[in-house]
Structure 1
Amino acid sequence: MRDKVVITCAVTGNLTTPDQTPHLPITPEEIAEACLGAAEAGAAVVHIHVREPGTGKPSMEIAYYEEVVARIRARNAELILNLTTGPGGRFVPSEDDPKVAGPGTTLVAPEKRVEHIAKIRPDICTLDLNTMSSGGQVVINTPGNVRRMAKIMREAGVKPEIELFDSGDIALMHDLLRDGTLTGPCIASFVLGVKYGFQPSPETVIYARNLLPAGTEFTVIGTGRSSFPMVAQSVLAGGHVRTGLEDAVMLDKGVLAPSNAAMVEKARRIVQELGVGIASPREAREIFHLPSRGA
């Protein structure tokens, strides 16, 4: 196990709905406050999606990202900001002609998915390597499109956090390192619990960890009921941890999490009871090879 682990809080995500929990942050102000509360509870990194304030539906609006980041930075200069680039990658085939996009398709050009990264230049942004079924939809991240997105991240000076949903994604990660699309040491996350991807178990974590490129810092993300068990499993396997209302809405069985901060507090207790310390944002920057703020 490590001496210290980094806690990431994913405060709202793309798939959790207001029907699942009344505590989901929706507006830029609510999302920023959730991030700041998570930081006070012990998170060194916050993972940020934005939503349409009127409906709560996922959004790609750059102005919302800018407002969230500005509100956070006005009160916390050190917190590591990780913006998503996942939206814009879903395809739903129409029933009559599957090569034609049906309702629910969000697929856009890869450059569109990273416009906010080039403009805002956060500390980290996600880079999903999965092409897979997701419910009745398909998430599409072809190697060519991934390379186009990674090029813009590199030009913006933003470090990608590589999201891995199955072993084939790790094979692609190795290829991207070999051709120079990515440069190590990398930050990566295993997403466990999506129905047609990695399933949450100790065996999965060890298997996936052992496939990673040398020197990769990894986090295990458990979805739904596996969220907190995978916090413990990640620590035991030598990784970092993530929690938040993007990943799960329950704090305990039958108990809705009242806030992202409460989820971070529980994750922190689990980590500390395993005898491991919690990294500060400054320490997390060193672990993840990120520049200090202002550097």
Structure 2
Amino acid sequence: MSKPCILCCAITGSVPTQSDNSAVPITISEQVESSQAAVEAGASIIHAHVRNDDGTTTSDPEKFARLGEELRKHCPGVIIQFSTGGRSGAGAARGGMLPLRPDMASLSVGSNNFPTRVYENAPDLVSWLSEEMVKYEITPEIEAFDLSHILHAIRMHKDGKLFGKLYVQFVMGVKNAMPCDREVFDFYVKMMRERAPDAQWCAAGIGPNQIVVNEWAIAAGGHTRAGLEDNIRLDRDRLAPSNAALIARAAELCEKHERPVATPKQAREILGLRAG
């Protein structure tokens, strides 16, 4: 299979702390350094959250602005994807960074259960976030935790409510949401091929499911995500030493399945993004 595989690195997230794994990058400088290494290992998308210096979550647009500026300086051409996830803020604060015009932004189009709470994405908030992305010409990465999210995203795209090319990510292995299930994964891929044949898709697995879903996605011709946001370990006995180590592991799977790792330029072409 000659189709390049896009590797996305989810560098920080809102949950893991440095007490869980000291490699989790928290400050802007730590995030940039970790991103540089991940790009060298094969990442072409940096999926970014921001934190306060004490590690607490935030959606502060000023921090996103600083991070974006530093990533453009030190990782030229890399695709910058900001998170609008609900663990870092509420309501309109979740989209406060969108006027910065990142290349991409995550978008959850429906609600679901998380380990200890409901991950709420109300229809009016979803509509507002998608309208802001259209306004600022930002391609969303749909974070699908359920089949209904995939089908809803396909409808939204057909109705012109999502900017750019449709890009859907299957998220598998979150407790109380969609488990890591091969039959379900295969059905998701089937739905994308039949109902959105011009779209691109990727997949992410949480915790020990990361390496499993990485291989499923690479072997099936999709793209995939790795990084310390989703998984802090290499295996049961070893913490991951860096984001780069997790991306390098995914790149090795690309080699195993004879998939070239996409460069940032190739990834931009595949996703229909403006030049970096």
User: Displacement, 1:217?
Assistant: 0.7
Worse overlay, 173-182 or 273-282: 173-182
Q: Distance in 2 between matches of 1:58 and 1:73?
A: 23
Alignment of 1:173-212 (within 5 A): 173-182=153-162, 185-212=165-192
SS in 2 for 1:141: coil
SS in 2 for 1:278: coil
Query: Contact conserved, 1:88 with 1:113, CA < 8 A, in 2?
Result: no
Query: Contact conserved, 2:60 with 2:96, CA < 8 A, in 1?
Result: no
Query: Contact conserved, 1:188 with 1:217, CA < 8 A, in 2?
Result: yes
* Aligned position for 2:246: 263
Q: Distance in 1 between matches of 2:188 and 2:213?
A: 13
Equivalent in 130, 140, 144 of residue 160 of structure 1: 140
Instruction: Please state if 1:116 is matched with 2:116.
Output: no
Equivalent in 216, 231, 234 of residue 214 of structure 2: 231
Q: Indicate how the Cα distance of structure 1 residues 2 and 242 shifts in structure 2: closer, same or farther if over 3 A, else same.
A: farther
Q: Distance in 1 between matches of 2:167 and 2:127?
A: 17
Equivalent in 218, 226, 249 of residue 232 of structure 2: 249
Q: Distance in 2 between matches of 1:9 and 1:223?
A: 13
Over 4 Å off, 4+ runs? none
Worse overlay, 253-262 or 129-138: 129-138
User: Displacement, 1:240?
Assistant: 0.4
Give a deviation string over 1:113-148, Cα, whole Å, max 9, x none: 111111x11110000123012122111112222111
Q: Distance in 2 between matches of 1:191 and 1:130?
A: 13
Same amino acid, percent of matched pairs: 29
Alignment of 1:1-295 (within 5 A): 1=1, 3-54=3-54, 56-87=55-86, 106=89, 108-109=90-91, 111-118=92-99, 120-182=100-162, 185-212=165-192, 213-293=196-276
User: Displacement, 1:2?
Assistant: 5.1
Q: Indicate how the Cα distance of structure 1 residues 256 and 123 shifts in structure 2: closer, same or farther if over 3 A, else same.
A: same
Give a deviation string over 1:15-61, Cα, whole Å, max 9, x none: 2222211111011111111111111111011100011112x111111
Q: How many residues align?
A: 273
Query: Contact conserved, 1:231 with 1:271, CA < 8 A, in 2?
Result: no
TM norm structure 1: 0.88
User: Displacement, 1:173?
Assistant: 1.3
Query: Contact conserved, 2:138 with 2:164, CA < 8 A, in 1?
Result: no
SS in 2 for 1:65: helix
Consecutive unaligned residues of structure 2, counting only runs of 5 or more, are: none
Give a deviation string over 1:142-185, Cα, whole Å, max 9, x none: 22221111001111111111110001112221331243212563
SS in 2 for 1:81: strand
Q: Distance in 2 between matches of 1:185 and 1:123?
A: 12
SS in 2 for 1:272: helix
* Aligned position for 1:98: none
Worse overlay, 175-184 or 189-198: 175-184
Query: Contact conserved, 2:59 with 2:93, CA < 8 A, in 1?
Result: no
SS in 2 for 1:224: coil
Q: Distance in 2 between matches of 1:238 and 1:274?
A: 9
Query: Contact conserved, 1:191 with 1:220, CA < 8 A, in 2?
Result: yes
Consecutive unaligned residues of structure 1, counting only runs of 5 or more, are: 90-105
TM norm structure 2: 0.94
